[in-house]
Structure 1
Amino acid sequence: MSVLEVEQLYRNFSSGKKAFYPLNFQVKKREIIGILGTSGCGKSTLLRVLAGLDVEYNGVIKVDGQAHRGTHEKIGFVFQEPRLMPWLRVEENVAFGLEGKYKLTKANEFLKLVGLESYSKHYPSELSGGMAQRVAIARALVTSPEILLLDEPFSALDAFTKMNLQDLLLDVWEKCNSTMIIVTHDIDEALYLCNRLFILRGHPGELVEELKIEGKRPRQRGDLNLASLKSKIIKELHL
């Protein structure tokens, strides 16, 4: 069964410009979907629409078979930047929005999941960029969303930190049974993480290819099959 369905979805701005052409796709439970494309093809706009942060769209979005518009309790979001509140400690940032006397206990459970339980009393200014993004992932997961949307979550990080967090994300996916949709312009990242790729191209964006990636995870980053798929994607994007 599909956890997310998109039917004839498109977004036109008040200026008359289109973000992307009408899209139709379905996402199954526990899939990791990559939305891949060059800058300006509507990737981030699409993710904001799916998250309910942008409701000025046409078409239908269904979660577990039910049409909805706006934010949804089953959908979590991770931005490009951590967006932590500097006056709150790490555990308070993760617990922000939760209720009840055990909210800090729950926050610390998810900090442990991302390997930061020993930093719960720190402030965001005391964290590295990679650590701050781990906190952001914990904050998105603490409400146990069925679907986690990630908008280029590792784009601002160095290559080694990025690879470490990609592996962390796969660990989180394995433990939390979440469905994930990741916007990225990093082909290697998409091939390493995802079950399927939706490749957008042009201005406005058009879905030009849906690519299924076979093979169990964790994958070998230097795998020849992935290298072959990368060449195919580069051609599709006209790079």
Structure 2
Amino acid sequence: MKTLLTTFALGCALSCAAAGEARAADPSPGIGSVLLTEAVEGNQLVRKYLVRNTGDEGYVLFYRIDATQLASDYADNGLDLSDLDAFVGSLPNDELRSIRRIVVTGYASPDGPQRLNEQLARERAEDVVAYLDNKYELSDAYGIAVEARIASWDDVREVVAASDTPQREAVLRVLDSDRSDAAKQAALRRQAAVWRFLSSDVLPALRRVDLRIDYGQDRIVEVRTRIARPTPRPTPAPEPRKRCCCAVVDDGSTGLLVEMPEPGADF
């Protein structure tokens, strides 16, 4: 029984150690994944995940007023382009991602003529698509949907309500009124301090392009990790058995009866 328990314990220790080592470097597919099963097959730890369609990849690039050409030195575009390049460049070698579609949406701020804003929004989106196609031919690989939108004065109101805009209450009354968009803009422009704040702190964030990557339906992904088993230690050689000069012949309740060797016996 002792031999059986020792073998079983050793097997559990090796299995748990291997599983613990693999778990420490768990190659999970990432956010949105759920571990379904985990089993050992030969020298591999096999995990199956449910990878959910999270659609959580998104990038934002900003444009200067009236501009339709992307500037890497404007706002945080340099950092965002670096992140975007790293992501797009990894797609061909990433078997865990299943992209359903890519949507590029260009925006324009609500100030200015509506027809010009529509043109700005669309040309900004097309500018980003051209950047991706020239560098990665992304349209051929995945297809890209292009959209254009003009941000509304309601979008401006949300920012103003949470800010320290000069004369904030007066600005909110203008934005909440039944006036036309042109009349709202004219009223805001007449307040010099208010318009300076909007022009520098609010409106620039609305001149942008949003890039959204939508993943496919939920799917099951199998991840295999090789188990590095520990090298077994060599079994030490048994010590030579010592010869005994006496033997127990009876250990009854009355005491030990020991057989002593005869005088002159050789041991």
Under a length normalisation based on structure 1, what TM-score does the superposition of the two structures give? Answer: 0.25
Of Structure 1 and Structure 2, which has the larger fraction of its residues in helix?
Answer: 2
The structure having more radius of gyration, on CA atoms, is 2
Under a length normalisation based on structure 2, what TM-score does the superposition of the two structures give? Answer: 0.23
